[in-house]
């Protein structure tokens, strides 16, 4: 039986367990996927550790102790929760795990259950053959979709496995270079969080007599308009410049992009590329009033703000106040979730092992480091002093844009070819890095 023959049924089971995280503490119930993974590892010589910070929110770690305490360790972080679905918009059962037309369909198929299943299959394969030189751990993490408070964040404070060298989602897709050549993506970092609530106050009163009132609704509307005008500058660094040059545009287009202009040249990746090179500010929530005949005295809006590595919360506040202008003193700025961006080096033992593994499957194809616009569990490894990279592998026709397009989408799916490539790539990298 091949590794892919092991991985596909496991992926289908993980999808069918339907561990939907709706951002509340009682959702997710990842104990179902934890139990499936424990059954998958039955009969192997692994150490199993269960973690349950809240009823049903179970993460589980499977560890093979290395034979050489001085050897590098490797930890694979696969999350087991998925985001909610709008079932009416799906043409297949979102929790059916159906395989058709060479693809596995289901919520979480791409984000990130196919990688989680591949990690498990690769580690079980090692366990069946003996102990590696370096310690190898696979973790099925709960609560990633809610930023890890009951998952990797909690594990970073309480679990005993190593965070020195970590792999998680997502990588190994292809850049559609302008000259038709190939390039492979590896995710080396991710943006942070700078969530804000902006609150304004006005006069309460009866809706029938608005004359002369300081209207909170009108004021928050003007706040929203001013925030929408913010255009942060491009933040150029080695990663952004390398990404632009990997596309092999003509010199004029390349120079414009390095200066922060002409993003339409990226086609399907226009939005992602802009997010990768800018602090982004998205107004997402607006609230005021309860009864139609009452003038509300309070109104507020929430902003999903994503800073790049190195950008500070103080910079964000300064940018907001500058845009608010003469309204700044009338607006309360409240910090919600705030986290710094993080990035790992584009050199070192684990990064080099990733490059060598890619070269094994796609010889001579350049590797392009990128920054993820969203978050992953890897940021907790970086905070603890370790390195973390997004690693998977896709067929030549799967571009970065096509893979990102599957995330949280209706009819989410992953190609069977990509499941096969990813599990074989993980098996190869594990052999290379921990001597399995």
Handedness of CA 162, 149, 341, 270 (dihedral sign): positive
More confident residue, 404 or 427: 427
pLDDT, one tens digit per residue, over 284-304 is 999 999 999 999 999 999 999
Supply the DSSP string of 395-406, one letter for each residue: -TT-BHHHHHHH
Q: Is 274 helix (H, G, I), strand (E, B) or coil?
A: helix
**Domains of the chain: which residue ranges?**
3-178+341-434, 192-231+279-339, 233-268
SS3 (DSSP) at 163: coil
Say if residue 278's pLDDT is above 90.
yes
Closest to 339 in 3D by CA, of 301, 379, 371: 379
Region 152-156: mean pLDDT is 96
Closest by CA to 237, choosing from 193, 265, 278, 272, is 278
Please check the confidence at residue 2 and state whether its pLDDT lies above 90: no
Q: Which of 211, 133, 165 has the alpha carbon at shortest distance from 387? A: 165
| DSSP secondary structure letter of residue 290 | S
* Tokens 């506040």 sit on residue: 317
Tell me whether the omega of the peptide bond preceding residue 112 falls within 30 degrees of 0, making it cis: yes
Percent of the chain residues topping a pLDDT of 70: 100
Residue pair 279/373 in contact (Cβ under 8 Å)? The answer is no
DSSP 312-359: -HHHHHHHHHHHHGGGGGG-EEEEEEEE--EE--S-SHHHHHHHHHHH
- Residue 50: helix, strand or coil by DSSP? strand
| Range 252-264 average pLDDT | 93
Q: Answer whether residue 432 shows pLDDT above 70.
A: yes
Q: Where is 311: in which H helix or E strand?
A: none
Yes or no: say if 151 and 141 are a contact pair by the CB < 8 Å rule.
yes
Q: What values do phi and psi take at 113, rounded to 5?
A: -65, -30
Phi, psi of 290 (to 5 degrees): -135, -45
3-state DSSP assignment of residue 190: strand
Distance CA 311, CA 10 (A): 40
Q: Is the pTM of this model over 0.85?
A: yes
Closest CA to 168 of 432, 420, 398, 374: 374
- What is the predicted pLDDT for the residue at 5? 87
Question: Are 3-178+341-434 and 192-231+279-339 the same fold in CATH?
Answer: no
Q: What percent of the chain has pLDDT over 90?
A: 92
Q: Give residue-wise pLDDT tens across range 22-47.
A: 999 999 999 999 999 999 999 999 99
Q: Worst-scoring range by mean pLDDT, 63-77, 353-367, 399-413? A: 399-413
Reading the block at residue 335, the tokens are 């910090």
Look at residue 1 in the predicted model and tell me its pLDDT: 62
What average pLDDT score do residues 150-168 get? 96
Q: Which CATH number fits domain 192-231+279-339: 3.40.470.10, 1.10.3130.10, 3.30.70.360, 3.40.50.720?
A: 3.30.70.360
Query: Which tokens in the block code for residue 243?
Result: 């990404």
Q: Which CATH superfamily is domain 3-178+341-434 in?
A: Zn peptidases (3.40.630.10)
User: Which 8-state DSSP code applies to residue 257?
Assistant: H
For the segment 141-154, the average pLDDT, to the nearest whole number, is 94
Closest residue by Cα to residue 368 from 245, 284, 281: 245
Rg (CA), the chain: 23
- Give per-residue pLDDT as tens, 317-328: 999 999 999 999
- pLDDT by residue (tens digit) across 365-419? 999 999 998 889 999 999 999 999 999 999 999 989 889 888 889 999 999 999 9
262 pLDDT higher than 70: yes
Distance between terminal CA atoms of the chain? 19
Mean per-residue pLDDT of the chain:
95
């Amino acid at each position: 039986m091949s590794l892919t023959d092991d991985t596909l049924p496991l992926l289908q089971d993980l999808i069918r367990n339907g561990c939907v995280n709706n951002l509340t503490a009682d959702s997710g119930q990842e104990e179902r996927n934890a139990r499936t993974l424990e059954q998958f590892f039955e009969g192997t010589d692994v150490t199993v550790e269960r973690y349950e910070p809240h009823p049903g929110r179970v993460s589980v770690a499977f560890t093979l102790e290395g034979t050489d305490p001085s050897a590098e360790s490797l930890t694979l972080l696969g999350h087991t929760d998925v985001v909610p679905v709008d079932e009416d918009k799906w043409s297949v059962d979102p929790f059916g795990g159906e395989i058709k037309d060479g693809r596995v369909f289901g919520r979480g198929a791409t984000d990130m259950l196919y990688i989680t299943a591949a990690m498990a299959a690769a580690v079980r394969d090692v366990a069946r053959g003996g102990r590696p030189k370096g310690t190898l751990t696979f973790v099925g993490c709960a609560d990633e979709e809610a930023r890890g408070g009951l998952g990797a964040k909690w594990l970073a404070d309480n679990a005993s496995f190593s965070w020195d060298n970590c792999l998680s989602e997502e990588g190994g897709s292809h850049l559609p270079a302008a000259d038709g050549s190939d390039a492979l993506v590896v995710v080396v970092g991710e943006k942070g969080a700078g969530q804000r609530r902006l609150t304004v106050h006005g006069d309460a009163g009866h809706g029938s007599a608005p004359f002369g009132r300081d209207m909170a609704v009108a004021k928050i509307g003007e706040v929203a308009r001013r925030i929408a005008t913010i255009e942060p500058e491009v933040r150029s660094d080695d990663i952004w410049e390398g990404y632009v040059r990997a596309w092999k545009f003509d010199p004029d287009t390349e120079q414009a992009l390095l200066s922060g202009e002409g993003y339409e040249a990226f086609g399907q990746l226009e939005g992602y590329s802009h997010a990768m090179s800018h602090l982004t500010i998205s107004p997402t929530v607006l609230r005021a009033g309860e009864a139609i005949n009452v003038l509300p005295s309070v109104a507020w809006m929430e902003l999903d703000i994503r800073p790049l590595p190195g950008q500070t919360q103080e910079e964000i506040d300064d940018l907001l106040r500058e845009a608010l202008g003469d309204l700044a003193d009338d607006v309360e700025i409240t910090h919600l979730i705030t986290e710094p961006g993080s990035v790992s080096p584009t050199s070192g033992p684990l990064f080099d092992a990733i490059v060598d593994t890619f070269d094994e499957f796609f010889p001579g194809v350049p590797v392009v480091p990128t920054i993820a616009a969203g978050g992953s569990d890897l940021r907790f490894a970086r905070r603890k002093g370790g390195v973390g990279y997004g690693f998977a592998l896709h067929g030549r026709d799967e571009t970065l844009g096509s893979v990102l397009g599957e995330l949280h989408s209706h009819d989410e799916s992953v190609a069977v070819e990509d499941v096969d490539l990813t599990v074989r790539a993980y098996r190869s990298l594990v052999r290379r890095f921990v001597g399995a």
